[in-house]
Structure 1
């Protein structure tokens, strides 16, 4: 018995030491903290006023977007290109949750109950990096907001700096300016399906300088203290882009919690995000907010009804997103989401064998009143094998008459 007690005591001590070591490897964030911005080379500010520029071009067809729309008969959204200010530069923004480059060959343990997969293969992450780079090259956005991207400290993706790997693939189209904010960072997560280091972050890439950035902590999901310590710390990454006029443009990149229904968490995360926006509104700074909100649209419960009937999906019947939709314009617009083809605006294709295609909208771009929208779409046709989320794209320009 003496030896058994000694062995048991040693085991308990070992477990305590491991938990203690893992506990101190977690990076814990204050409510607001400045984060670094950098440019790898000198670049000029965004020509927001008085600079005649060409319309954004897709590499795939080398046609200006407006020519493409006129040839296809697609309608313009909320504005006409003919009435747009002739001397303002257009700003193309793309938001994309890349699911840490895992691809679509897996059903992870968190996707469905009993999901068999814990980690993608290194081959699949490399192939997905290739595909994401191809999409970015083709769309050629001025600003790229990425969610769920890992760096060289994450064991699940083989300690590869995915931003650096993506930039390398982009070659001459790599983004000179970048900033990031982690929202899951620990040397060891003790969850049985992880058991390794994690380092996931929000990344904003820009072709124009970003003068400052800060990380805003979103409210945390309510767990026991041990789970809370090792769980996601969702955030909003706010960065200010330099312009020729000297008036900054704010870029907000976020990823809200999943599985927050019925807890009030989603409403709290929307409220925190709204507070960031309110500060920008008071300063009359134009802003664009993009990301994976994990919230269904305020579409009269159309998507909520379909998902609840089909899968019993866990979303609040009254979406917390209404607090943003009631105040600001968005992509997809409520008109699109309640129109005759809302499926064209679905942004999420679950890793669920029972689902054969995108079936809901979780990803959005919101924008302030200073912006005029020239184009908006979800890139669906060739992205269904890349991630469980689809890219959301908007083309903006500052209105001739900005609000006073």
Structure 2
């Protein structure tokens, strides 16, 4: 049946450039603004609390098929909203000034077409958000996924502007048909004004399932972009799920990225990826310094593929070319908010730090 579908589909690809609206452009950035009276519009100083969090499209720890823990594909709207309420409770308790979110859905069948960026904006202390798709397809003809629009978002208490979606290299080992329907990773760059200075806010989520060097190419693009900002003396903060390990990670053997063993949702063994992140630590300020991480890896882990186990790797990062107050950095592994543990909220935990912005001369 699948082969018949492909035979029927192929003529459409030769007669239309983008039949399923999957191609994404640099200006594909959507802005959100909330006018709710409860928002805190007070002036932000030069010390910012920033956070990054992969929220797994509001899916929490449901047994999805691609996790190989179950066979779920779609959620009911009640499930999505219930999970978003718990995410919102965490954000209201921690109140970051800037939030980088990965894997957030805005118009996807799997999450009952709930616009999660809008929902979180209206149910948090933030007033502004910007969103860039990394997986937008009008219909995915496999696994019952249907319509998909999922990507990266940046939330802020200050206005956002001048957004740019920087496309990252696609997985080269996929055939052209799979690649067309698959994720198109991005680096989202938006600006905000803190005091009188413009600050670049950047968010990214790199490939998990690639074995052909694509992730290294994506990391190189992100690093080069940050380096160009730094050379222009432009302050920035970046958060994201890099799907890569820091240098000095121990116990790589038996370290799968997925519970799957069928080859479809398996990543590489991370043996090389530690070297790929070295340049970020060498040039920029990390929320968790490499020295601290190498002393005790586990207290800084942010992700797990074991739904019944504890965090077992660090994939999430915050970097800046300003100053980081390391004593104010928190990896939210076990905190309780409103009677709820953080671990059931997503397969990633939030990473938070305080950044002191340097002034342009």
1:127 equivalenced with 2:77 (yes/no): no
Q: Residues 20 and 138 of structure 2 are in contact (CA less than 8 Å); yes or no, is this contact kept in structure 1?
A: yes
SS at match of 2:66: coil
Partner of 1:149: 104
Q: CA deviation at 1:377?
A: 1.0
Question: For 1:304, which of 238, 252, 258 is the aligned residue?
Answer: 252
1:276 equivalenced with 2:270 (yes/no): no
Partner of 1:339: 295
Number of aligned pairs? 339
Q: Are residues 308 and 96 of structure 1, via their aligned partners in 2, closer, same or farther at CA, if it must alter by over 3 Å?
A: closer
Partner of 1:252: 202
What is the rounded CA distance, in whole Å, between the counterparts of 1:202 and 1:309 in structure 2? 21
SS at match of 2:152: strand
Partner of 1:388: 347
- Using the size of structure 2 for normalisation, the TM-score is 0.84
Q: Residues 374 and 396 of structure 1 are in contact (CA less than 8 Å); yes or no, is this contact kept in structure 2?
A: no
Partner of 1:189: 140
Unaligned runs of 5+ in 1: 1-9, 49-88
Show the 5 A alignment for 1:27-176.
Answer: 27-30=22-25, 32-33=26-27, 35-37=29-31, 39-41=33-35, 47-48=44-45, 89-106=46-63, 108-112=64-68, 115-151=70-106, 153-170=107-124, 173=125, 175-176=126-127
Question: For 2:176, which of 222, 225, 234 is the aligned residue?
Answer: 225
Unaligned runs of 5+ in 2: 262-266, 335-340
Which whole-Å deviations, capped at 9, do the CAs of 1:141-180 have from their partners, x for residues lacking one? Answer: 00111111111x211111111122223333xx2x211111
What is the rounded CA distance, in whole Å, between the counterparts of 2:5 and 2:321 in structure 1? 57
Q: Residues 237 and 254 of structure 1 are in contact (CA less than 8 Å); yes or no, is this contact kept in structure 2?
A: yes
What root-mean-square deviation, in Å, do the aligned CA atoms of Structure 1 and Structure 2 show?
3.0
Partner of 1:287: 236
Partner of 1:358: 311
Question: For 2:282, which of 317, 326, 340 is the aligned residue?
Answer: 326
What is the rounded CA distance, in whole Å, between the counterparts of 1:309 and 1:252 in structure 2? 25
